Structure 1
Amino acid sequence: MRNENKNLIVAIALSMAILIGWQYFFAAPEAERHRVATQQQAAQVNPNAPNAPATPSQAGGPSASVPGTVPNAPAASAIEARDVALARSPRVAIDTPSVLGSINLRGGRIDDVALRTYHETVDPKSANIILFSPTGTQNPYYAEFGWVGAQPDALPGPNTIWTADKPSLTQNSPVTLSYDNNQGLIFRRVISLDDKFMFTVKDSVQNRGGAPVTLHPYGLVSRHGTPTTLGYYVLHEGMIGVLGEQGLQEFTYSKLDKEGALSAPNTVGRVWDNAVGGFLGITDKYWAAAVVPDQGQPYQGSFTARQDPTGKVYQANVLGAQQVLQPGATTEMTQRLFAGAKEVATVDQYADTYKIKNFDLLIDWGWFYFITKPLFKVLDFFYRLVGNFGVAILIVTVILKIFFFPLASKSYASMAKMKAVQPEMASIRERFKDDKVKQQQALMELYKKEKINPVAGCWPVVIQIPVFFALYKVLFVTIEMRHAPFFGWIKDLAAPDPTSIFNLFGLLPYNPGSVPVIGHFLMLGAWPIMMGITMWLQMKMNPEPPDPVQKQVFAWMPVIFTFMLGSFPAGLVIYWAWNNLLSVTQQGFIMRRNGVKIELWDNVRGMFGKKSPAKG
């Protein structure tokens, strides 16, 4: 008995270590990263916001995909409020159903993009999500297109003032920028934007001079400063691209910093030559900016990171093939820029419409793409029918239960048979309690006689593991789940349940999460508790393990999972609770059909009852 107690203590200690480790290494750091990211986002709008992280002034301008091909813009004198930085240059307004912002006529950059339909919080009156910001702000982030060549002084650069043919860019009204270098070259740039997030940039050059000119078209996305990321293994944030036959390329900011040096000063990165098709860009959890080159022309793609005196600058670069422009001739290049929310239907539509190679991989579906994306498609189908992603999760769970019913039926039937022969199993253990080999042999003969598979009961759990992780991925990475409400207090299925039993679900006037050290353990919402209760009921439907230590570990498991899933997305917890409840119903039906008495109440009483004294 002393050894059993010792094993029980060890098992419980290990379980608690897992729980504490999860909270310490995942839940608490994620909350802190989210807090810092929110402060940085607020600082972009208002650099004087409380607790805004201090950042040195940023130098404007990109580095080149090939060293020396793209000149740098002058440095901003200091960190400025966003509206002040925007007012420093003449601009063309952007006003479409999905995007608000402006194009900088100094340099022709797209450096001011806010998402009209997305907000910082579930409150529709909260600030819009800001994607791009100009140089001079807290964290400049922009896209740039143009031409590079052997005579950079003859080409438009970051300081060039372009002329626009109209004051605003709308969905149905493209804007044309023009620039005459007074050396025989006329540059035009036609920029259009659809009702979502795809810019089309058509650059042309007319050579009115007397000598041929050699040019390369380019496009890039540049981000100044190292962004605060969530840091989850299941989520990629950083540089992303599909470069022709090279396939998907993903670099975190830290990984790119460790790449080999390029010939440009203080610049490291990775370069791919002669790629055809695909895209290059920078991705966050829900938002992305990516250059889409001509899908039929070869290009050089690269990810670069350079160390400026004011901080790191990360870039995704596309450099087109050389073009020799003869006197009197005109050349043009069409590229595209995705800058917005990674909506699944929108991204898929762009992939089909513009034939962009593997553009759907802009969304991080993960290694189990073949499960994750179809699962989202099914959820989205039912969402469109019922108008609630939470209800869609419940419907899909029922469908999965029906689909796997034959396998689950065999598993539960085997468990029911095992429950029915428990008296015989107890008798065998008593007869051979001093001979473990004979005891095991007798048990195996009993299993064979009664056609019982002792591990069959594991299959229902094994089945739901890949579904669980696929749903976790869907809830975590798809923007459709962001701020998606369920019912009652669940306003965001992608966020944890905001209630807590430790303040009586809001009746007591304090926030348990603010308690030092243990605050994360105290944020135990109503849905995680319901999940724990349903898990406990399901385990009580099963035959109790004969080993006392195993019995106690299984008894504690619902408690451990309740605390662990308290910090998971509410949609995942709702799925797990609903799945448990369906499993209890299904298992009860199968047990009755096999003539096995459901002794749920006896099992519950047995958990709290005292053990009979050991015979000695």
Structure 2
Amino acid sequence: MSDQKNVFLAVILCLAIILGWQYFFPSPVPEQTAEQQAIATDSSTPAPTGVTPGNASAPSSGAAPAQVLSREEVLGKAARVKINTPSLHGSISLKGARFDDVTLINYRQEVDPNSGEIVLFAPSGSPNPYYADFGWSIAPGTNVKLPTPDTIWSTSAKEITPDKPLVLTWDNGEGLVFTRTIAVDDKFLFTVEQKVQNNTSADVTLFPYGLISRTGMPEVEGFYILHEGLIGVFNETLEEIDYDDLMEGDSKEISSTGGWLGITDKFWLAALLPDQNANLKSRFNYIKSNGRFQTDYLNQTGVTIAAGQSASATNNLFTGAKEVDLLDDYEKNLEVDRLELAIDWGWFYFLTKPLYMALDFMHGHVGNMGIAILIITVFIKLFLLPLAHKSYVSMSKMKKLQPEMTKLRERFGDDRQKLNEEMMALYKKEKANPAAGCLPIIIQIPIFFALYKVLYVTLLMRHEPFYGWIKDLSAPDPTSMFNLFGLIPWDPPQMLMIGVLPVLMGLSMFLQQKFNPQPADPVQAKIFLFMPIFFTALLASFPAGLVIYWTWNNILSIAQQWYIMRRMGVSVNS
């Protein structure tokens, strides 16, 4: 009995620690200093490993901070080609030919469909620049005039669409003509072909590179349930590096054949998808002088352009939402290794991916994600019914024996050896196994965490309504018990925003405890009594969809346990 209680208590405490630590002790987001807010000039872009990009000079640590302008002011300073697709808005600057202005049409900042589009990329010189860049590098000691971030490219196009690729040209005046052809599909993929025409009398070897740069520490989620930061897959191995680790000097270089790399947020991704046959050296880095996080790759083999000939290199860029089916399609069609891992499926991938597919399928049929969550939870409970039945039967037997065990404790007092002998004899007589309920509980934990993970890290719940006051399943319940759920005209502080759903969850958890055998240890009993209160406060800040799932799961467990106890003649109050 004691062993079962200890295991169950350990499970609950572990869950409380995992979910609660960041709630009560959130990781501090470092304030940006004036130096970090300063935007590096375009010519200070660091070189990919081993070569020099263009004729760029190294950044000067003593440079005066550049003036930070609004996004609109920066976008108006240089000529641009408009991006116009069913999924993307934005523009490509003719200065440097950077991808530095991208917004997502079908994803809004708020539930209101008229709110602003999600802004992914922002130009250098604006607050928190975020952009991608492609170019050519040269070997040390080589003197070739290459395009730089200050280069003004030529084009006759006014916009780029899925049907009209953008063609940019630049002549270095020394016999090399650079052409950059950019194509975009109807979702989030750019294809960049860099071509060089060598009109000189000597061969030229150039090294294509790509980079993604982000200045300033972005806001990250408060819980240790998903990775946000720099990410990539190289040599069939996933690499995830947090912003904090890079700021502490934990930069990394990796050599591979093919692979992909980028920067990921909870729902959004910017990723470089190089030539999968190329010999690459990739890097994750933090540039302290201007507070910039950067991931880049260099094709180490290079491209040799013979005199009078031309050569090219083609690479891809993903800039958009982490839609599961879309990432799977790109992974297959481009033969990019494990691009789906841009979504943090967690340790239980073999459970999380099927659960996602089930929820997505059900949502497509019922039209409401909240209802889909309720239905899938029922199916999970049915699938686990044999295990849960065994667990609840064991708990019911132990609860039925509690009066007898109380008598034994009163009879034998501090004689622990005799008490244990009598209790084991009682278990044997009544065919009760105090550990029988532990294994089913342990087996169910991975499934619980997998479903929790799916609901938390994927786009399934984002801006999806339920019923009544729940307009967004990915946002916390907006009501509060401290203003009587809106009856009192007062807006409580955030810490007091404990809504209807968290309260219902707490009540269901409290009721479920009443069906379980109560701990003999008074300390354990008090901890169990405190748990519903703790989880009510904790889940108040959780997405409503997760609280609905948790509450519904508790209700189904209570119904099942009540049925089993009734069949066995066990009283809830026994």
TM-score by structure 1 length?
A: 0.83
Residue in 1 aligned with 2:293?
314
Instruction: Please say if residues 189 and 204 of structure 1, whose CA atoms lie closer than 8 Å, have aligned partners that are also in contact.
Output: yes
Show CA shifts across 1:353-373 (max 9, x none).
111001111112223322222
Residue in 2 aligned with 1:230?
221
Q: How far apart, CA to CA, are the structure 1 residues paired with 2:377 and 2:76?
A: 52
- Tell me whether 1:69 sits opposite 2:52 in the alignment: yes
Q: How far apart, CA to CA, are the structure 2 residues paired with 1:544 and 1:489?
A: 37
SS at match of 2:90: strand
Out of 156, 160, 167, which is 1:176 matched to? 167
Instruction: Please say if residues 60 and 136 of structure 1, whose CA atoms lie closer than 8 Å, have aligned partners that are also in contact.
Output: no
Out of 469, 472, 477, which is 1:489 matched to? 469
Instruction: Please say if residues 270 and 317 of structure 2, whose CA atoms lie closer than 8 Å, have aligned partners that are also in contact.
Output: yes
SS at match of 1:382: helix
Q: How far apart, CA to CA, are the structure 2 residues paired with 1:53 and 1:523?
A: 37
Residue in 2 aligned with 1:120?
109
Segments of 5+ residues of structure 1 without an aligned counterpart are 1-14, 41-51, 261-268, 514-518, 604-616
Residue in 1 aligned with 2:7?
none
**What is the one-letter code of the residue matched to 1:307?**
K
Distance 1:444 1:111, change over 3 A: same
SS at match of 2:173: coil
Q: How far apart, CA to CA, are the structure 2 residues paired with 1:582 and 1:552?
A: 25
**What is the one-letter code of the residue matched to 1:257?**
M
Aligned pairs for 1:385-424 within 5 A: 385-424=365-404
Q: How far apart, CA to CA, are the structure 2 residues paired with 1:279 and 1:240?
A: 9
1:324 positional shift: 1.7
- Tell me whether 1:271 sits opposite 2:253 in the alignment: yes
Q: How far apart, CA to CA, are the structure 1 residues paired with 2:551 and 2:484?
A: 21
Residue in 1 aligned with 2:517?
543
Residue in 1 aligned with 2:9?
none
1:336 positional shift: 0.2
**What is the one-letter code of the residue matched to 1:66?**
T
Residue in 1 aligned with 2:136?
147
Q: How far apart, CA to CA, are the structure 1 residues paired with 2:22 and 2:296?
A: 35
Percent identity between the two aligned chains: 49
Q: How far apart, CA to CA, are the structure 1 residues paired with 2:384 and 2:19?
A: 31
How many residue pairs get matched? 551
- Tell me whether 1:290 sits opposite 2:290 in the alignment: no
Show CA shifts across 1:239-280 (max 9, x none).
1111225x11121223223447xxxxxxxx32223x112101
SS at match of 1:578: helix
1:68 positional shift: 5.3
Distance 1:364 1:313, change over 3 A: same
1:281 positional shift: 1.0
**What is the one-letter code of the residue matched to 2:23?**
F
Instruction: Please say if residues 379 and 396 of structure 1, whose CA atoms lie closer than 8 Å, have aligned partners that are also in contact.
Output: yes
SS at match of 1:163: coil
Is the deviation greater in 280-289 or in 94-103?
280-289
Out of 43, 49, 56, which is 2:38 matched to? 56
Residue in 2 aligned with 1:558?
532
**What is the one-letter code of the residue matched to 2:296?**
N
Q: How far apart, CA to CA, are the structure 1 residues paired with 2:392 and 2:66?
A: 71
**What is the one-letter code of the residue matched to 2:164?**
S
Q: How far apart, CA to CA, are the structure 2 residues paired with 1:290 and 1:193?
A: 15
1:462 positional shift: 3.3
Residue in 2 aligned with 1:467?
447
Show CA shifts across 1:301-336 (max 9, x none).
11222233xx22221111112222111211111100
SS at match of 1:454: coil
Residue in 1 aligned with 2:230?
239
SS at match of 1:188: strand
Q: How far apart, CA to CA, are the structure 2 residues paired with 1:422 and 1:63?
A: 70
Show CA shifts across 1:119-169 (max 9, x none).
211122221111111111112211111212255652211121112242111
Residue in 1 aligned with 2:118?
129
- Tell me whether 1:100 sits opposite 2:100 in the alignment: no
**What is the one-letter code of the residue matched to 1:179?**
W
1:19 positional shift: 8.4
SS at match of 1:462: helix
SS at match of 1:285: coil
TM-score by structure 2 length?
A: 0.89
Residue in 2 aligned with 1:608?
none
Instruction: Please say if residues 394 and 434 of structure 2, whose CA atoms lie closer than 8 Å, have aligned partners that are also in contact.
Output: yes
**What is the one-letter code of the residue matched to 2:262?**
G
**What is the one-letter code of the residue matched to 1:240?**
I
Is the deviation greater in 98-107 or in 406-415?
406-415
- Tell me whether 1:507 sits opposite 2:497 in the alignment: no
Q: How far apart, CA to CA, are the structure 2 residues paired with 1:347 and 1:19?
A: 33
Residue in 2 aligned with 1:528?
502
Segments of 5+ residues of structure 2 without an aligned counterpart are 1-11
Distance 1:314 1:461, change over 3 A: same
Q: How far apart, CA to CA, are the structure 2 residues paired with 1:303 and 1:21?
A: 28
Q: How far apart, CA to CA, are the structure 1 residues paired with 2:222 and 2:258?
A: 30
Q: What is the Cα-based RMSD across aligned positions, in Å?
A: 2.9
1:20 positional shift: 11
Q: How far apart, CA to CA, are the structure 2 residues paired with 1:328 and 1:110?
A: 31
1:77 positional shift: 4.7
Residue in 1 aligned with 2:72?
83
**What is the one-letter code of the residue matched to 2:288?**
Q
SS at match of 2:376: helix
1:467 positional shift: 2.9
Q: How far apart, CA to CA, are the structure 1 residues paired with 2:314 and 2:476?
A: 44
Distance 1:98 1:258, change over 3 A: same
Instruction: Please say if residues 271 and 319 of structure 2, whose CA atoms lie closer than 8 Å, have aligned partners that are also in contact.
Output: yes
Residue in 1 aligned with 2:4?
none
Residue in 2 aligned with 1:255?
245
Residue in 2 aligned with 1:263?
none
1:23 positional shift: 6.8
Q: How far apart, CA to CA, are the structure 2 residues paired with 1:277 and 1:476?
A: 30
Q: How far apart, CA to CA, are the structure 2 residues paired with 1:226 and 1:550?
A: 42
Instruction: Please say if residues 19 and 563 of structure 1, whose CA atoms lie closer than 8 Å, have aligned partners that are also in contact.
Output: no
Out of 576, 589, 602, which is 2:563 matched to? 589
Instruction: Please say if residues 51 and 137 of structure 2, whose CA atoms lie closer than 8 Å, have aligned partners that are also in contact.
Output: no
Residue in 2 aligned with 1:26?
23
**What is the one-letter code of the residue matched to 1:137?**
S
Distance 1:208 1:237, change over 3 A: same
- Tell me whether 1:428 sits opposite 2:408 in the alignment: yes
Residue in 2 aligned with 1:609?
none
Q: How far apart, CA to CA, are the structure 2 residues paired with 1:306 and 1:352?
A: 34
Instruction: Please say if residues 252 and 284 of structure 2, whose CA atoms lie closer than 8 Å, have aligned partners that are also in contact.
Output: yes
Distance 1:408 1:106, change over 3 A: same
